[in-house]
Amino acid sequence: MTPTPPPNASPSILLKALRREATDRIPVWFMRQAGRSLPEYRAVRGVDSILKVLQQPELAAEITLQPVHRYGVDAAILYSDIMAPLANLDIGIDIVAGVGPVIERPFRSLDDIMRLRPVDPATDLLAMTDAIDLCIHELTVPLIGFCGGPFTIASYLVEGRPSRSHTTMKRLILEEPKVFAELASRLVDIAITTLKAQVDHGASVVQIFDSWIGTLSPWMYRNALQPHLQRLAAETSALGVPVIYFGVETAGLLDDLAQLGFAGLGLDWRVDLDAVATRLGHTVALQGNLDPSILLAPTDQVLAATKSILSASALAEGYIFNLGHGVLPETDPATVAAVVDFVHEQGAQLRRRPLQ
Ligand code: CP3
């Protein structure tokens, strides 16, 4: 299928920043910009599990547009979930409010992994691509598609629910490396199919949420995950859109992650943007890294923290303002709006008069 470009497909500042080209202001969007912090989201959300909501493309399209209309952010991100592509695979996935993804019979053996068949975009991703078709022409900013990274999805499938320590996952990697490799390889295939379908329907940037990758030591990362991420990076680079890779607590992995060849790297708030930009800002575009909790503070504090990040970003060739993780549900939308305006104003000034 021929990709359908949005009506005003002039190069956006988000795309320029991801190509590490000069921009006249700093692009900004927020992970979880759609969701429980927005009254208009709560008004349409209903009580069903998010996986049920995602079966209603009109609703998913409307929710995708909500933060774009309210905030004037420089990108929409598709309202979906990293578990959504797997929802039709008959592996008993649910997303429980206040908990997260829960798997009926967690994956432990090769037999379990054999249950993970490839995703068929025409059926398994139809609701998702219908949602994209419904919102893409309403957008004057790029639509970001996304999928889960192989470690993060594998961890949910193996642990059976959110885990802090990922111990069962790590034991499987160490005790059954071939079983893990098969699982990771199938998840990379699913990620590629998902991102390709999103791009075919008009997503012009994609982000891989490998949120929990930072739980791995560099040694385990290099042995168990790096080859799979290298394949993911190589195959997604053929999609013709910039790919951002994101995880939290990745300070010890950033140099490795920067070498994978993704266009952009998402940073959490535990790293000093100055230092990362100096070290890696000429090889990869950087995105982040305001602590989401800071948005709960008085606005003057929020803007002071934002300003310090914007100043540090001058050392990166390509930079996108974002949080270090998703917007917290208790965040006041007025604070988010103030940050968007501030990034746009200050970013334009900084671009005119870069800091020495
Ligand atoms: O960024 C966006 O605005 C796009 C939408 C999006 C959602 N989930 C919607 C969602 C994205 C990018 C995700 C990714 C996702 N989902 C990740 C990676 C990013 C991260 O947060 O680290 C993970 C780990 C998940 C798994 C997941 N889904 C969790 C942990 C939860 C929260 C459960 C809870 O209720 O506390 C979900 C549910 C979910 N996904 C919600 C939203 C808006 C809440 C849904 C609701 O309103 O019930």
d(CA 161, CA 155): 8
Residue whose Cα lies nearest atom 18 of ligand 1: it is: 209
Give the pLDDT of residue 83.
98
Give the pLDDT of residue 353.
60
**Quick one: pLDDT band at residue 356, thresholds 50, 70, 90?**
very low
Other CB atoms within 10 Å distance of the CB of residue 133: 14
Residue whose Cα lies nearest atom 30 of ligand 1: it is: 100
Residue whose Cα lies nearest atom 24 of ligand 1: it is: 211
CA 94 to ligand 1 centroid distance, Å: 12
Give the pLDDT of residue 324.
98
Q: Answer yes or no: is pLDDT of 7 > 80.
A: no
51 lines ligand 1 (CB under 6 A): no
Rg, C-alpha atoms of the chain: 19
47 lines ligand 1 (CB under 6 A): no
35 lines ligand 1 (CB under 6 A): yes
Residues in Cβ contact with 2 at an 8 Å cutoff, skipping those fewer than 6 apart:
none
d(CA 189, CA 185): 6
Average pLDDT over residues 29-43: 96
In b/e form, how buried is each residue of 55-88, taking b as 16+ CB within 10 angstroms?
A: bbbebbbbbbbbbbebbebbbbbbbbbbbbbbbb
Ligand 1 atom index nearest CA of 212: 22
Give the pLDDT of residue 4.
45
CA 168 to ligand 1 centroid distance, Å: 22
Average pLDDT over residues 250-264: 98
**Element of type H or E holding 76:** strand 76-77
CA 36 to ligand 1 centroid distance, Å: 10
Give the pLDDT of residue 351.
81
Average pLDDT over residues 41-53: 93
246 lines ligand 1 (CB under 6 A): no
Active site residues: 32, 36, 45, 81, 156
d(CA 280, CA 125): 35
CA 144 to ligand 1 centroid distance, Å: 15
Give the pLDDT of residue 11.
72
Render pLDDT for 59-86 as a digit per residue (tens, 0 to 9): 999 999 999 999 999 999 999 999 999 9
Q: Answer yes or no: is pLDDT of 347 > 90.
A: no
Q: Answer yes or no: is pLDDT of 5 > 70.
A: no
Other CB atoms within 10 Å distance of the CB of residue 42: 12
Query: Which residue is it, tokens 């927005």?
Result: 38
CA 82 to ligand 1 centroid distance, Å: 7
CA 118 to ligand 1 centroid distance, Å: 23
Render pLDDT for 99-156 as a digit per residue (tens, 0 to 9): 999 999 999 999 999 999 999 999 999 999 999 999 999 999 999 999 999 999 999 9
71 lines ligand 1 (CB under 6 A): no
CA-nearest of 83, 80, 84, 103 to 92 is: 103
Residue whose Cα lies nearest atom 10 of ligand 1: it is: 81
307 lines ligand 1 (CB under 6 A): no
Mean pLDDT of the chain: 95
98 lines ligand 1 (CB under 6 A): yes
Render pLDDT for 272-330 as a digit per residue (tens, 0 to 9): 999 999 999 999 999 999 999 999 999 999 999 999 999 999 999 999 999 999 999 99
The first and second tokens of residue 75, run together, are 């990108």
Residue whose Cα lies nearest atom 28 of ligand 1: it is: 100
Q: Which domains does the chain have, with CATH numbers?
A: 13-350 (3.20.20.210)
Give the pLDDT of residue 1.
42
Give the pLDDT of residue 2.
40
Give the pLDDT of residue 150.
98
Render pLDDT for 178-219 as a digit per residue (tens, 0 to 9): 999 999 999 999 999 999 999 999 999 999 999 999 999 999
Contact 257, 274 (CB under 8 A): no
Query: Which residue is it, tokens 């995950």?
Result: 225
Give the pLDDT of residue 215.
98
**Quick one: pLDDT band at residue 10, thresholds 50, 70, 90?**
low
Indicate the pTM of the whole model: 0.95
> Which residue among 42, 71, 81, 157 is best mutated to probe the pocket of ligand 1, counting the most ligand atoms within 8 A of its Cβ?
81
